[in-house]
């Protein structure tokens, strides 16, 4: 039996008094100060923007455009093809944003050997805008092009997004240095995995979405919705400066800083009312090539019901 050492004395510990956090004596005054400060900053920005654009100064900011049509597209490294095309209409009459997905393989009439709309941007945005109008009847004068690497940075700046991956995605393309490896199920995707999700078309064994490009568009739509939801969340609002910086650093646009700020100003009242649409149509093989052929009457109806010409 072990003997108890009664001579043992515990070590002396130095006492550190617990520091209590200082509480604001008048939190209401602090909030009022912050709000007033932000209003002053907003007024200064509005004044500077009014000087830069020539528009009349207002404490509410530079004048809004009732309707803006902006093309947002993802381009490959060479800037030749647009892997995804979105026609975004900001409608300040109803304070809503309608986004139209245009499939990359949409068949168009042109003088190129390639009759797909995804090769139009290589000939310039005016060519791309004309072919979008050919399909939709809507004319866009502004664009924001983001390359694939930039897409990764933007999603990472947002802190990732949560989506439901519908099928197993396993594809490799050494030529494009592309590796896609995602398991099905609801999960949070960082920028690299979100890019895999966006670019996936088929697996190495030829399997893929049961309904082809229609399924791909639906999957992409779920990612757009997840991004919109994340941006509107408290964490998304906190990350908005980093997201804006990532967009600006990784995009090509014909909007200058004043115009881009004006677009953001118009977007703010619409953030709770965002609708994503897809051109109705079907995939067809024409002349040995795979195309997406829109249903003309249904497309016209979709445009007339949701967009302003």
Specify whether domain 67-306 bears CATH 3.40.630.190.
Answer: yes
pLDDT at site 76: 79
**Confidence (pLDDT) at 236:** 81
Q: Count the helix, strand and coil residues of the chain and give each as a percent rounded to the nearest 5.
A: 40, 25, 35
SS3 of 239, please? helix
pLDDT of residue 45: 53
Q: Which of 129, 98, 137 is nearest to 278 (CA)?
A: 98
Burial class of residue 54 in the structure, from the number of CB atoms within 10 Å of its CB (0-12 exposed, 13-18 middle, 19+ buried): exposed
The per-residue pLDDT for range 206-223, each reduced to its tens digit, is: 999 988 878 888 999 899
Q: What is the pLDDT of residue 33?
A: 53
Is residue 156 scored above 50 in pLDDT?
Answer: yes
For residue 4, name the pLDDT band (cuts at 50, 70, 90).
Answer: very low
Torsion of CA 18, 21, 25, 28, to 10 degrees: -160
Q: Say what the alpha-carbon torsion angle 46, 48, 50, 56 is, to the nearest 10 degrees.
A: 70
What pLDDT, on the 0 to 100 scale, is given for residue 241?
A: 82
Helix (H, G, I), strand (E, B) or coil at 278: strand
Q: Is it the case that residue 164 has pLDDT exceeding 90?
A: yes
pLDDT at 8: 45
Q: Which residue, 71, 85, 80, 68, is CA-closest to 294?
A: 85
Cα–chain center distance at 129: 20
Please say whether the beta carbons of 246 and 153 come within 8 A.
Answer: yes
What distance in Å separates the CA atoms of residue 35 and residue 30, rounded to the nearest whole number?
9
Give the Cα-Cα-Cα angle 168, 209, 176 (nearest 5 degrees): 70
Of 52-56, 131-135, 138-142, 202-206, the one with minimum mean pLDDT is: 52-56
**223-243 tens-digit pLDDT:** 988 988 888 788 887 888 888
State the CB neighbour count (10 A cutoff) for residue 117: 25
Residue 50: its pLDDT value, please? 52
Instruction: Give residue 272's pLDDT.
Output: 79
pLDDT at 39: 47
Domain residue spans in the chain?
28-62, 67-306
Q: Given this model, what pLDDT does residue 175 score? A: 80
Mean pLDDT of 177-185: 94
13 pLDDT band, cuts 50/70/90, is very low
């Amino acid at each position: 039996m072990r003997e108890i050492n009664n001579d043992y004395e515990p070590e002396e510990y130095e006492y550190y008094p617990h520091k209590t956090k200082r509480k604001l004596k008048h939190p209401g005054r602090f909030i009022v100060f912050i709000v007033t400060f932000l209003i002053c900053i907003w007024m200064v920005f509005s004044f500077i923007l009014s000087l830069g654009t020539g528009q009349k100064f207002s404490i509410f900011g530079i004048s809004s455009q009732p309707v803006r049509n902006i093309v947002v597209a993802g381009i490959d490294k060479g800037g030749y093809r647009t892997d995804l095309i979105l026609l975004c209409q900001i409608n300040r009459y109803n304070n809503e944003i309608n986004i139209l997905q245009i499939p990359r393989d949409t068949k168009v009439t042109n003088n190129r050997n390639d009759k797909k709309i995804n090769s139009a941007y290589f000939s310039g945005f005016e060519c791309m805008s004309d072919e979008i109008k050919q399909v939709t009847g809507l004319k866009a004068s502004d664009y924001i092009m983001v390359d694939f690497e930039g897409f990764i940075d933007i999603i990472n700046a947002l802190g990732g997004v949560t989506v439901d991956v519908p099928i197993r995605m396993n594809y490799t393309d050494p030529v494009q240095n592309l590796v896609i490896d995602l398991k099905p199920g609801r999960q949070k995707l960082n920028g690299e995995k979100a890019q895999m999700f966006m670019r996936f078309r088929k697996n190495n064994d030829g399997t893929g979405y049961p309904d082809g490009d229609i399924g791909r568009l639906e999957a992409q739509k779920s990612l757009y919705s997840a991004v919109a939801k994340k941006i509107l969340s408290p964490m998304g609002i906190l990350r908005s400066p980093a997201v804006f910086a990532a967009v600006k650093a990784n995009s090509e646009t014909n909007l200058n800083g004043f115009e881009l700020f004006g677009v953001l100003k118009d977007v703010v009242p619409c953030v709770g009312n965002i609708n994503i649409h897809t051109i109705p149509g079907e995939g067809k093989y024409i002349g040995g090539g795979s195309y997406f052929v829109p249903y003309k009457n249904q497309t016209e109806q979709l445009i007339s019901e949701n967009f302003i010409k």
